[in-house]
A and B are shown apart, each in its own frame.
Chain A
């Protein structure tokens, strides 16, 4: 008989594949309705250009997009695991990013220290900002969804104010955007272009493959270990599965809410760093927004598990890359959002169905095995 874990995995993957195929079908209808050709549209997603440089650059774009999404997914998933809905990832990462960029530009130290300080500041600011709704929840019972949504507005506007006010850096003549001061070169995260060049491929164009990929992978592994192997992770799981049983078992719900929320916020704080450390080296008006909200979708798609979130983030990155090629193929690029939306919805439905199927199968397996081992007694 197949091991239960493998069985569950196959069901999950099967469900996801069916959901994605269905999503493609639905998107085709949308593309047709927009007056474009679905075949051309889907072709555009796989059109990475003809030269090896453009292919490599395309791949780098996918991964560069996927890395922050992956981190955002992890941040949301930490809360989700405990039935805490941290909708505030958006605000937490923006406020963390500007503070980290500002602090990183105020001093010069050897590269490891410079980068470490920036990462720590970002995590600390994100964590502290998430502490606010956590305290409101345990102290006064304020729903964290409402609190974090409101705090998002505050964070977004606060970072806009900081950017034009106290944190504003020097602006060269003729430049339209406003930015913080540049982080010194020791704080630039080395790129990972060697991943391509070591196979004899050309380096991608522009800033290349952001090196923060390495940090993200380590973060994913560490988080998996924390959630799956430690006592803290067990308490998180227990609180999420059955908060009353967790309470009766001695888990302190308030402590769990605070630690999970702060951990979620600290991870959220890192979302902006791949971009800042890898390409822009400052926080400016063109800083990528919306990653926090996308993170919710990514976490849902990845079932709150690091590996699943990585796959989901890559899928989103892959879809997002097609912005340009879709325009060349005369397809409105908003098709991407329709596809992402339908995929998320259908995968969530598929997850629900497959997990129920898995539970039922588990019950049946148990019943069957018991029936065979206890047959003597049943007929007695």
Chain B
């Protein structure tokens, strides 16, 4: 079956008037989508538009308040994901749900183990997996350990897992978020094969180029409701699609004229971190020899950032970015030297570094950046306990803190009823704007911005980019870590590529393409200077 089958074929999925109300977040409102069988149907919308909620409803993780779901023409009502699986719907999550210490085969059969007389029928399972893998062009060795696999292979395992359970309709939630460009191409190849086999793929993404290159039909969601469903052939460019998504002009991450000065604000020299925990270097010993044969999370990382410069760190997640941040923030000990302005801060505590003018927008705001169950003004105080306006001797200056939070709310357009509201009541974008406002307070001279616009809607993203650009123009040195290559290339003055704890290339963002960058990030291209 293919997409040119005539009308009588029943659509794989029909969603009619799906409405879901939630406190505090964009709910779904009157969603209407028809997904033809044997097609790749993309659902796109900005972060927070309601894509994830919709998919959770379709996968039985949440019940809609109103509306009807039909699968292959039959009315269905899912109470749990098992109901959805039984109806032939499978979900490949954005974050892989695999057990690292089990083999591919074990992961695939987990929870649906074939047995003969109570024993695991490994041979039978292996045969079926081989068949499935061959039929759909998903090459993986069933007997390898998952921990040895790369990201692309892991994703194939996830897809096989879903196919093994008999899914004919696959939901892929932001499947390319963790992939480099080459792996994205491979994934799309796989998806085309699945489509050719008659399977239906629901592809959720906000990366428009990818949507355009894979989808047969595209549904745009904005503010929780469907704006339009259009065949791919009717969409001219990514820009057109983006405008449907945002309903206005799309922000561009380009920084215009350079504001880079000659004054070095942050200098990192020979930063090296052992995987097994910090051991002090014995007096007189040579660091190279001391660390010989040890696994290193950071390996001789050196770079500098000048006032008014944004240095972007590109890399596949888990190649040392988090460790680099933690070392610079003083949260984790490392060898090497860090200089801020004229001072060697290598031995300083986190608090002292912050007081000296380091701001930090953490990569995971819920884990590292916020007290969710505390009010906004208390979150404003966090990290600034020892500085004005929060500090008044041994006391917290509540009045001044609240007043300053009001300022952030106003200047950074944080949408909140009041500064007494608990942080958890805000949407992700507004939480992030509060954090950005907080970290920009107290006139930092150096800012670490880790994924500053992750999980943030387009409006907030543009605002955050603007704030970064303005601070840069005012002389702020910024270390930008981002998985969003457009953001990285668009904002940075210099791009450093990190691979297995080493900086492997220094690139000029004006000359590179995302494909090139992807090559360095996966180690496919090695450094030859630039």
A interface, CB within 8 angstroms of B: 4, 229-235, 237-238, 241-242, 244-252, 359-360, 362-367, 369-370, 374, 378
Contacts and interface: CB of A to CB of B under 8 A. Distances in A.
A231 B350 contact: no
Contacts, number: 109
B371 A366 contact: no
B233 interface: no
A152 to B, nearest CB: 32
A242 B415 contact: no
Interface string B350-385: 111111000010100001111111100010011101
29 contacts: A4-B420, A4-B421, A230-B394, A230-B396, A231-B386, A232-B394, A233-B396, A234-B378, A234-B381, A234-B396, A244-B368, A245-B367, A245-B369, A245-B370, A248-B329, A248-B368, A248-B369, A249-B385, A252-B349, A362-B421, A362-B422, A362-B425, A363-B23, A364-B24, A365-B425, A366-B24, A366-B416, A370-B416, A378-B223
Given A244-B368, A250-B385, A359-B424, A365 B373 contact: no
B371 A242 contact: yes
A250 B23 contact: no
Interface residues of B, number: 43
Given A238-B382, A250-B349, A252-B349, A229 B374 contact: no
Contacts of A235: 385
A242 B424 CA distance: 13
A248 B448 CA distance: 12
A234 B378 CA distance: 8
Interface in B401-459: 415-417, 420-422, 424-426
B416 to A, nearest CB: 7
B373 A234 contact: no
A251 B369 contact: no
Contacts of B368: 244-245, 248
A230 B395 contact: yes
Contacts of A360: 23
Contact of B425 (A229, A231, A363): A363
B415 A370 contact: yes
Nearest to B371: A241
B467 interface: no
Contact of A363 (B24, B352, B354, B362): B24
B374 to A, nearest CB: 6
A244 B367 CA distance: 6
A378 B370 CA distance: 27
A232 B385 CA distance: 9
Nearest to B369: A245
B275 interface: no
B49 to A, nearest CB: 13
A259 to B, nearest CB: 13
Contacts of A374: 415
B331 interface: yes
B126 interface: no
Contacts of A230: 394-396
A162 B354 CA distance: 50
Contacts of B426: 366
Nearest to A379: B223
A378 B26 CA distance: 11
Given A250-B386, A252-B351, A363-B24, A231 B395 contact: yes
Given A244-B367, A363-B425, A364-B23, A250 B383 contact: yes
B213 to A, nearest CB: 32
A128 B452 CA distance: 45
Contacts of B329: 248
Nearest to A247: B331
Contacts of B416: 366, 370
B391 interface: yes
A207 to B, nearest CB: 38
Q: Which 4 A-B pairs give the minimum distances between C-beta atoms?
A: A250-B351, A249-B383, A366-B425, A363-B24
B277 to A, nearest CB: 12
A362 B368 CA distance: 22
A231 B422 CA distance: 20
A363 B360 CA distance: 27
A125 B351 CA distance: 31
Contact of A359 (B355, B370, B422): B422
Contacts of A250: 349-355, 383, 385-386
Contacts of A369: 417
Contact of A229 (B23, B385, B396): B396
Q: Which of B25, B355, B394 has the most CB of A within 10 A?
A: B394
Contacts of A247: 331, 350
A365 B349 CA distance: 40
B385 A234 contact: yes
B373 A248 contact: no
Nearest to B360: A248
Contacts of A363: 23-24, 424-425
Given A252-B349, A359-B424, A370-B417, A231 B396 contact: yes
B482 to A, nearest CB: 18
Contacts of B398: 229
B353 to A, nearest CB: 8
Q: Which of B223, B360, B368 has the most CB of A within 10 A?
A: B368
B481 to A, nearest CB: 15
Given A230-B396, A245-B368, A359-B422, A367 B24 contact: yes
B372 A241 contact: yes
B396 A242 contact: no
A32 to B, nearest CB: 41
A263 to B, nearest CB: 14
A363 B430 CA distance: 13
A229 B331 CA distance: 27
Q: Which of B353, B355, B360, B417 has the most CB of A within 10 A?
A: B417
A199 B41 CA distance: 82
A143 to B, nearest CB: 19
Contacts of A242: 367, 370-372
Q: Which of A238, A241, A366, A369 has the most CB of B within 10 A?
A: A366
Nearest to B417: A369
Contacts of B331: 247-248
Contacts of A248: 329, 331, 350, 360, 362, 368-369, 383
B442 to A, nearest CB: 12
A249 B382 contact: yes
Contacts of A364: 23-24
Nearest to B415: A370
A249 to B, nearest CB: 4
Contacts of A378: 223
Q: Which of B352, B355, B383, B386 has the most CB of A within 10 A?
A: B383
Given A247-B331, A248-B362, 16 more contacts: A4-B421, A229-B396, A231-B386, A238-B371, A238-B374, A242-B367, A242-B370, A248-B350, A248-B360, A249-B350, A249-B385, A252-B349, A252-B350, A362-B422, A363-B24, A364-B24
Nearest to A366: B425
B21 to A, nearest CB: 10
